[in-house]
Amino acid sequence: MARQSVSPQITANILEFVRTNQMRAGEHLPCQMLADAFRVSRAPVNAALKKLEMMGIVRAEPNRGYFLAVDAANVEAAKPAGEPQREEEDPLYFRIAEDRLAGKLEERVSENELMRLYDVARSRLLKTLHRIAEEGWIERLPGNGWAFRETLTSRQSYEEGYVFRAVIEQQAMLLPTFRPNEDEFRKARAVQTALVEGGYETWSRAEIFKANNNFHEMLVACSQNDFFLDAIKRINRLRRLIEYHITIDRSRLPRQTSEHLHILDLVEAGRRTEAAAFLYTHIMGASRIKTPQV
């Protein structure tokens, strides 16, 4: 098992240090001073400072080191860079997902039916149903009824969905209207870096799906074409349940995440045609690995 990097925690420590000391933009953040304060070597501190630079919180000056780019009041509460707000694995959520995918739940269900089936209180059930509704695979009906929305349920439809994604995402990147969004690229890089530096071992299935979903939708959004973006959002909603059903082989996630970072590198280097070709290969490669598990 890969050793989890300590730099995400050091990043959080630096943010907390800045906020606690009410530092102002322009103040120096000496690497050795921070290393001494956190009782670590300079290497993880340098890695954390580079990550904060990508987030726009600090700036690097040649031969001088790192300086705060924003006031402490504008620094978010400390947490490892890119790490999502923790979501506990909800057994009820995944039981509903598995039962729906297996055809054990009808398209329309009532709260009373679900309460009896899963032996839970209404408040507990509603909390889970509201989460599912926010993700887009169920919607509330008048009264206390709910209706599941269309999803991919077969191996063939899942595979076809990947082909669709590969073509749409590649072409979206090749559109003349494609413009990289610097802020979104920086955020995506922070999330993917946190994932590859240990998040792939500890984040929940839902958090990993969300992180990778957001990455691909962010790229398509850069095309500035709402039709392409709507198409990708729809296919991502349709495949959510079957993605949860597939057993996550977490050992493959570092490679997948490294490929995401490589795509960002290619686009930022102005090699968009190469990035689009690599994106297509990346998506189809994921399909070849995951489709046999459906």
pLDDT tens-place string over residues 137-163: 889 888 879 999 877 766 788 888 899
Mark whether 134 and 247 lie in a shared domain: no
Residues 6+ apart with CB under 8 A from 69: 25, 56, 57, 58, 59
Where is 68: in which H helix or E strand? strand 65-68
Mark whether 174 and 242 lie in a shared domain: yes
pLDDT tens-place string over residues 182-199: 999 999 999 999 888 888
DSSP for 95-155?
HHHHHHHTT-S-SEEEHHHHHHHHT--HHHHHHHHHHHHHHTSEEE-STTEEEEPP---SH
User: Which residue, 78, 107, 131, sits at the end of a domain?
Assistant: 78
Of residues 160 and 275, more confidence is placed in 275
User: What pLDDT does residue 165 have?
Assistant: 94
pLDDT tens-place string over residues 193-235: 988 888 888 888 778 888 999 999 999 999 999 999 999 988 8
Residue 154 tokens, joined: 């077969």
Domain membership flag for residue 264: yes
DSSP for 69-105?
-S-GGGSPPP--TTPPPP----HHHHHHHHHHHTT-S
CATH number at residue 269: 1.20.120.530
User: What pLDDT does residue 50 have?
Assistant: 85
Of residues 155 and 52, more confidence is placed in 52
| Most confident segment among 31-35, 87-91, 129-133, 178-182 | 178-182
Mark whether 218 and 173 lie in a shared domain: yes
User: What pLDDT does residue 246 have?
Assistant: 65
Checking if the pLDDT of 84 tops 60, the result is no
Lowest-confidence pick of 119-123, 219-223, 274-278: 119-123
Query: Rounded to two decimals, what is the model's pTM?
Result: 0.61
* Mean pLDDT of the 78-95 span: 62
Lowest-confidence pick of 61-65, 68-72, 80-84, 108-112: 80-84
Mark whether 166 and 285 lie in a shared domain: yes
Mark whether 191 and 261 lie in a shared domain: yes
Look up tokens 């995944």; give the residue.
94
Residues 6+ apart with CB under 8 A from 48: 7, 8, 10, 11, 13, 14, 81
User: Which residue, 132, 148, 164, sits at the end of a domain?
Assistant: 148
User: What pLDDT does residue 126 have?
Assistant: 92
Mark whether 159 and 248 lie in a shared domain: yes
Domain membership flag for residue 173: yes
Checking if the pLDDT of 31 tops 50, the result is yes
User: What pLDDT does residue 236 have?
Assistant: 85
Lowest-confidence pick of 86-90, 116-120, 175-179, 260-264: 86-90
Compute CA distances 50 → 32, 133, 261, 269, 277, whole Å. Answer: 15, 38, 15, 19, 29
Residue 277 tokens, joined: 């070709």
Number of domains in the chain: 3
Mark whether 43 and 58 lie in a shared domain: yes
On whether the CB atoms of residues 126 and 111 are closer than 8 A, the answer is yes
Mark whether 126 and 250 lie in a shared domain: no
Alpha-carbon gap, residue 38 to 127, rounded angstroms: 39
Domain membership flag for residue 86: no
User: What pLDDT does residue 80 have?
Assistant: 47
Domain membership flag for residue 220: yes
- DSSP secondary structure code for residue 178 in this structure: -
Closest by alpha carbon to 80, among 184, 207, 206, 181?
207
Mark whether 216 and 140 lie in a shared domain: no
Domain membership flag for residue 84: no
Instruction: Report the chain's mean pLDDT, rounded to a whole number.
Output: 85
Mark whether 251 and 216 lie in a shared domain: yes
User: What pLDDT does residue 103 have?
Assistant: 85
**Domain span holding position 56:** 6-78
Burial of 184-210, coded b for 16+ CB within 10 Å and e otherwise, reads bbebbbbbbbbbbbbbbeebbbbbbbb
User: What pLDDT does residue 74 have?
Assistant: 76
Closest by alpha carbon to 201, among 51, 4, 47, 11?
4
Residue 193 tokens, joined: 């870096």
Mark whether 119 and 25 lie in a shared domain: no
Checking if the pLDDT of 123 tops 60, the result is yes
- DSSP secondary structure code for residue 57 in this structure: S
Lowest-confidence pick of 164-178, 200-214, 238-252: 238-252
Mark whether 198 and 248 lie in a shared domain: yes
Checking if the pLDDT of 104 tops 50, the result is yes
Domain membership flag for residue 85: no
